Chains A and B, each alone.
Chain A
Amino acid sequence: MSRRSGLMTLARIAALFGAGVLASIGSAQPAAAQAKQISIYFVGCAAPTGFHGYLARGAAQAGRNLGVKVTYIYPDELTIPNQIEKIDEAITARANGIAVCAFAPDSAYAEVAARAKAAGIAFGSAAAPPPGVVLRNPDDIFLFRVGSDEREAGELTAKRLIALGVKGRVVVGDQQPGDATCRARAEGEIDTLKAAGIKTNFIEMTMDPGQQAEELFNFLRAHPDTQAATSICDVVDGFLTAKEESKRHDLVLTGYDLDVAALAAIEDGKEAFTIDQQPFWRGYIPVLLLTDYIKYDLIAADYFLTGPSVVDKSNIEKIAKLVKEGYR
């Protein structure tokens, strides 16, 4: 090797070493800052859209308000193994606290909860407690449970329909067959209606609003005695279109969650009511509870129910602005 090329090589090595030193100094300060900031992972059930979008937004808002770092992660497909894998990723990322949108029985989470506890990570559930249980069980694998009972939401829909005088057939459309939360809603509604002697049908749909509209349209043709229809697992656009195109202005439409389309439909009277799970709270409160536990060792004595609640024409005006801003 010539003297000149040798000097060039040494110069390159020195430049690389200097860049590395500068980079490590540069990252040390933010890393040091990050080390002090509490890190919370919110393991969701799905991508942050629709209902889960409110959840994620609530969690993010809580992070901003409380000065903690909140990371929302979710499995591509909601299965127990996929979600457990996400929780494991949060543990590996050395989260200070983990809130999980639990959809499976507690036994599915027992092992990962024990691993989180062993790693000194606070572990809570962003799902409702078992029905009728208010006070926290000291042996609960979760530090807290925050949510709205999906089955009860379905039952509330059914009771409300009965109160509105619906006696004819009711059809419940599920746009995401296989989604456990939506199935719980559907079962709650169907079981309550059947117990009241009302004929009920369950139909699987797709996420495409055009296909939803045609499916409901044809269902109404096949069952002209249908008096009400519930959209269980998606925005209500397809149902509204079917109602209009079938000229069934008497059809009682109900749905879940609030968005601008549902807001307009309730204001216009095209949709009778929607069940609001107050999902913003369901994202916000877990972050708050985790932060207070991490900082002050506080544990709530009872479980926190965020819903269900009914939003209809009588109370829609109060929350219209919040719907448009994405909080309700």
Chain B
Amino acid sequence: MPEPAKSTSAAAPSWIVIFGEAARRFLLRPEATALAAVVVLFAVFSILSPALFPTKLTYISVMSVAAELGIVSIGVTLLMIGGHFDLSVGSVLGLTSYIVVALMRDHGVPPILAAPAAIIGGALLGALNGVVVVRFKIHSFVVTLGSMLIWRGVLISLTGGFPMMVSISPAFRGIMAGPFLSGFRMSMLWFFAIAIAGTFLQQRTRFGNWVQAAGQNPQAARNLGVPVGRIAIALFALAGALAAVAGVIQVARFSSVDALRGEGMALQAVAVTVIGGTLLTGGYGSVIGTVLGAITFAMIQVGLVLVGAPGHFFQTLTGLIVVGAVILNTDVAGRMLRSRPLRGFHRSSEAADAAILAAAARRESRDVEEADPQGRIGAADRGERAKP
């Protein structure tokens, strides 16, 4: 992100320039394109279904889907910013749901103890992933692919393959997933609370700085004294704990667990995270972007039903819209990175200016090389294209 700009000229810039520069700086943030996706989808679905889509019931429905998926996705986001993946979050959600049900149903444990126990269990399962990744230096994709299968198998074995029901007190259901404000669910409140905490952690704490440093360049971070290994384990534990929170909410809402609970959620969480502007390569991302990404994903699901999209193509359409949102995100983010401050402003550091322009030039020249590996295009043309 560029350093704060300041005005150079003696005369103050016009309000148009000030507004434009403020907008440009906002668009540089990872959340900006996710917000754009929400706005665009809202507009499209509202036009296609004006009577049904822009209504309170729709907003309640969207937030209900977004909350459960979003809570899982926040953990995945922080982990991805730190440079790791966790494909096992869906299985952890299922297994920790089982823990809650088993504790309450088979051991008479009250929900006020069963829920935290499951969350601690989720954190431990996540931490185990982290220990294996760090200790044996295996890529997290591979480790969590394995643990995804392991925990799913354990869940199938423990449940015997059959759903398990449990009696849930109205108070517990109300606190975790019940309606609280104009029909919106408590899960939305939990989602926002976790998002605020995650944002604070990412942007206002040393831990958050360490996470970004470790994600951008683990070796450099290590050289600077960042405990990269411990950060990774903590992030995996956090992802597991948040998956367990979503599991507890689902148990409270559906009074049950089944052997396939959470199946497919890991990939949905990754999609939401990427829509929200987090880079798959790590080091860059935003919890707020993930919140917007979850809302985007939920809007797609709800919107397709309300506009009467062909039912055989829901998965296809969902996938197309997700890819479109990511392309929009990447393209706009790239353009904004290459943009210059508006007239009347410049970046306070000439070094920052030069670095950004050099990176843009290198990207352009790489694009030209890929398009024309044999150098058929003349140098003059290349020179013209290289100009910002």
Contact = CB atoms under 8 A, between A and B. Distances in A.
A326 B160 contact: yes
Interface in A187-203: 201-203
A35 interface: no
B305 A219 contact: yes
A235 B160 CA distance: 15
A203 B250 contact: no
A237 B306 contact: no
B306 A202 contact: no
A217 interface: yes
Interface in A113-160: none
A215 B301 CA distance: 7
A267 interface: no
A221 interface: yes
Most buried by A among B163, B164, B264, B311: B311
B256 A203 contact: no
A219 B58 CA distance: 11
A302 interface: no
A291 B61 CA distance: 53
Given A210-B65, A210-B68, A264 B311 contact: no
B256 A261 contact: yes
Nearest to B152: A47
Interface of A is mostly: helix
B165 to A, nearest CB: 5
Contacts of A205: 314
Contact of A50 (B162, B250, B268, B308): B162
Contacts of B160: 53, 57, 326
A37 interface: no
B302 A49 contact: no
A47 B161 contact: yes
B163 A259 contact: yes
Interface in A1-60: 47-50, 52-54, 56-57
Interface string B299-323: 0011001111001111100000000
Interface in B246-276: 250, 253-254, 256, 258-265, 268
Nearest to A236: B163
Contact of B161 (A52, A177, A222): A52
Given A214-B61, A221-B52, A49 B305 contact: no
A241 interface: yes
A268 to B, nearest CB: 13
A50 B263 CA distance: 14
A207 B52 contact: no
Contact of B314 (A47, A204, A214): A204
A54 B259 CA distance: 13
B57 interface: yes
A202 B305 CA distance: 11
Given A221-B52, A237-B254, A203 B305 contact: yes
A259 B165 CA distance: 10
A204 B315 contact: yes
B312 A202 contact: yes
A298 interface: no
A77 to B, nearest CB: 12
B64 interface: yes
Contacts of B68: 208, 210
Contact of B164 (A50, A203, A208, A260): A260
Given A203-B305, A219-B305, A53 B256 contact: no
Contacts of A255: none
Contacts of A222: 49, 52, 305-308
B253 to A, nearest CB: 7
A237 B256 contact: yes
Contacts of A208: 68-69, 262-265
Nearest to B246: A210
A214 B301 contact: yes
B254 A209 contact: yes
Contact of B57 (A47, A56, A221, A326): A221
A82 interface: no
B148 to A, nearest CB: 11
Nearest to A201: B311
A169 B57 CA distance: 22
Interface string A205-233: 11111110011011101100000000000
B156 interface: yes
A218 B51 CA distance: 13
Contacts of B258: 49-50, 235, 237
A221 B54 CA distance: 13
A208 B250 CA distance: 9
Interface string A159-202: 00000000000000000010000000000000000000000011
Contacts of B152: 47
A235 B260 CA distance: 10
Contacts of B314: 177, 203-205
A211 B301 contact: yes
Interface string B150-174: 0010001001111111000000000
A15 B375 CA distance: 70
Nearest to A53: B161
B162 A326 contact: yes
Contacts of B165: 260-261, 264
A214 B65 contact: yes
A237 B260 CA distance: 13
* 6 nearest A-B residue pairs (beta carbon): A53-B161, A49-B259, A203-B311, A204-B314, A49-B161, A218-B305
Given A221-B306, A326-B162, 20 more contacts: A50-B260, A201-B311, A204-B311, A206-B268, A207-B264, A209-B253, A209-B254, A209-B261, A210-B68, A214-B65, A214-B301, A214-B302, A222-B306, A222-B307, A235-B256, A241-B253, A260-B163, A260-B164, A261-B163, A261-B165
Interface of B: 49, 52, 57-58, 61, 64-65, 68-69, 152, 156, 159-165, 250, 253-254, 256, 258-265, 268, 298, 301-302, 305-308, 311-315
6 contacts: A50-B258, A52-B161, A53-B161, A208-B68, A215-B305, A218-B61
